[in-house]
Structure 1
Amino acid sequence: MTRPSGAAGTTDELIQRLYEQPPDGFVAARTAAIDEAKRAGDRDTAKRLAALKKPTVAAWVVNLLALRRPDLIDELVDLSAALRDAQRGLQGDQLRELTAQRRQVVSALVGAARKLALEADPGAKLPLGEVEATLSAALAEPSIAAQVRTGRLIRAASYAGFGEVPKPRLRLVSDTDDEFDEEAEDDDEGGEVVEFPQQSTRERQAAERRRRQIEQRRRELRRELGAAEAAEHRADEQLERAEGAERDAGHLVEDLDAELAELERRRTEAQADVARRKQARRAAEREVAAARRRVGDVQAALEDLESGEPD
């Protein structure tokens, strides 16, 4: 089937509306949209809609922000790029300034997202911690920022890379103290701790142990992430099967309801026909009784006439 011009844009607008509304109504709205597309013969749209997944509450809140206030997400992305440039250059003053700015931006974004969510669903319980974690992850990872920009997240995101998102880990070594004044870590894949010429052997050994611990933890987290993603994939498939079964069962119920309605209509008509035939039978019975009485009367008159004739 050839779709009319502008159909793709219309479908995108429909998808946006689905992701803007509270998650509780997502499945029902998606099913209604799929059924409408099928009735219109638009199989491509029905297939696109069927592939959509229900977002968590936290993902919905972030989607609202991305769809209704994209300017704020642009500000987040710009700050992310500036922060990465400062981290690569190890510019301490600029890092501190950007870190403070980042906290302010994330806090403002969470507040704006909360306002939008409560306007859409005043009684919603909002997991603002997950919302904040997702926005912080978008600051750290351009790929996550790109996902946030789409407005089609299905679950909250978190930063799974090296280091701690909310607080850059730049470690500066003091001449007189074994403790670190500030924390930071390199932005490259190796994740090596920055060392300065004045580090002692003991400090370098401690830094090396820390690097090995972090690398081991990184490997563990990656294994856990792989297992979690596999479990997520299985759960998504199970959800899709369950939703498909739910739709099929709903369609069956609708078909049975239609059949029941037709049978009820036919039953009502049959009852009316029985009543009409009963009335006709009673009328016929009355006619038979009248005819029999007439026959009896005529026979009696005939007998009286014959009995009165002379021999």
Structure 2
Amino acid sequence: MLAIDVVVRRLYEAPPEGFVAARAAAIEEARRAGEREAAKRLAALKKPTVAAWVVNLVALRRPELIEELVELSTALRAAQRELRGDELRELSTQRRQFVSSLVEAARRLAAEEIGAGAGKLPLGDVEATFTAALADPEIAGQVRSGRLIRAVSYAGFGEVPRPRLRLVTDTDDDTDEDAPVVAAPAPPEPPRRSREDERRRRELERELNAARADERRADGRLERAEDAEREAGHVVEDLDAELAELERRRTEAIADVARRKLARRAAEREAAAARRRVGDVQAALDELAAT
């Protein structure tokens, strides 16, 4: 049986450039094993951005740090609600220091995976995500899951008031307790079913069974179409990400070509100057030899 949670963790723990191929392989393995629900769940997974992947590494490999984040977030919100100014200032200082330590831990974990490429990590987005998680419990839950797909940010600290809800049960009604109770009239006796009624009933039951079978087949086709659409959507998303990465690399390459062109022109000038110097010295030697 496919260990789906292990597979999902492996997908979000690995660097994102290999996500698409790894997801496709996992889906194919699930389908070969006859695990349609697992394949469907895997197909719904989305490729994380680099910043989200870095945050996921902390959640998956250093979960105790995320638990500390949740505790600090709870303390901050409590201090805000109760307007404890001194405590809030102290907690805010802790927040800044803790976020810095989280970002550094994230950088080290990513460096273990990608080596020298860690120098180009979007650590600003990573920091913004951790800061947002401290401010918003829902974001903290997403970070804790280790399956974040994109970086998030938060405009400022403070809780958004939630509407007060009342549980409505089957004992609630809008009737007046003092209103008199009027008994409902007894339902009329059903007429005896004739032989024609029975025949019609059997026909309708056969039609109902056939309609239900058609419905099941249609649901199956719909499910397959949705899976295909979802997979196609993932392909488009992944290609968009790859195109963005290629465009970034193209821009860097163009800049590198420009730098190398300038260096080549400088080298040409130096070579021409050296040749002129050689010619001048050779002419002086020839003149000296002639005399």
Q: TM-score, normalised by structure 2?
A: 0.55
CA distance 1:34–1:91, change in 2 (3 Å):
same
Distance in 1 (CA, whole Å) between partners of 2:40 and 2:16 is: 20
Amino acid at match of 1:241: A
| Pick aligned residue for 1:45 from 26, 31, 38 | 38
CA distance 1:244–1:40, change in 2 (3 Å):
farther
User: How much does 1:238 deviate?
Assistant: 8.3
| Pick aligned residue for 2:154 from 159, 168, 190 | 159
CA distance 1:120–1:93, change in 2 (3 Å):
same
Amino acid at match of 2:150: R
Amino acid at match of 2:70: V
User: Hey, what does 2:139 align to over in structure 1?
Assistant: 144
User: Hey, what does 1:133 align to over in structure 2?
Assistant: 128
Map Cα deviations across residues 21-42 of structure 1 (whole Å, 9 max, x no partner).
0000000110111111112222
User: How much does 1:50 deviate?
Assistant: 0.6
| Pick aligned residue for 2:78 from 76, 82, 85 | 85
SS in 1 for 2:151: coil
Distance in 1 (CA, whole Å) between partners of 2:9 and 2:236 is: 25
| Pick aligned residue for 2:17 from 16, 24, 33 | 24
Distance in 2 (CA, whole Å) between partners of 1:132 and 1:29 is: 28
User: Hey, what does 1:173 align to over in structure 2?
Assistant: none
| Pick aligned residue for 2:114 from 77, 99, 121 | 121
CA distance 1:126–1:238, change in 2 (3 Å):
farther
Distance in 2 (CA, whole Å) between partners of 1:245 and 1:68 is: 30
User: How much does 1:45 deviate?
Assistant: 1.4
User: How much does 1:244 deviate?
Assistant: 5.7
Does residue 241 of structure 1 match 2:232?
yes
Distance in 2 (CA, whole Å) between partners of 1:109 and 1:244 is: 32
Map Cα deviations across residues 79-114 of structure 1 (whole Å, 9 max, x no partner).
000011111111111111101101111000010011
Distance in 1 (CA, whole Å) between partners of 2:23 and 2:121 is: 23
Count of aligned positions: 171
CA distance 1:98–1:238, change in 2 (3 Å):
farther
Distance in 2 (CA, whole Å) between partners of 1:243 and 1:82 is: 39
Where in structure 1 are there 5+ consecutive unaligned residues?
166-185, 191-236, 247-311
Map Cα deviations across residues 233-285 of structure 1 (whole Å, 9 max, x no partner).
xxxx9884254689xxxxxxxxxxxxxxxxxxxxxxxxxxxxxxxxxxxxxxx
Distance in 2 (CA, whole Å) between partners of 1:38 and 1:141 is: 38
CA distance 1:142–1:239, change in 2 (3 Å):
same
| Pick aligned residue for 1:64 from 57, 63, 80 | 57
User: Hey, what does 1:106 align to over in structure 2?
Assistant: 99
Higher RCO (Cα < 8 Å, 6 or more apart): 2
User: How much does 1:44 deviate?
Assistant: 1.6
| Pick aligned residue for 2:8 from 7, 15, 19 | 15
Distance in 2 (CA, whole Å) between partners of 1:238 and 1:45 is: 17
CA distance 1:62–1:244, change in 2 (3 Å):
closer
RMSD between aligned residues: 2.5
User: How much does 1:159 deviate?
Assistant: 1.5
Identity of aligned residues (%): 66
Where in structure 2 are there 5+ consecutive unaligned residues?
163-227, 238-291
Amino acid at match of 2:82: G
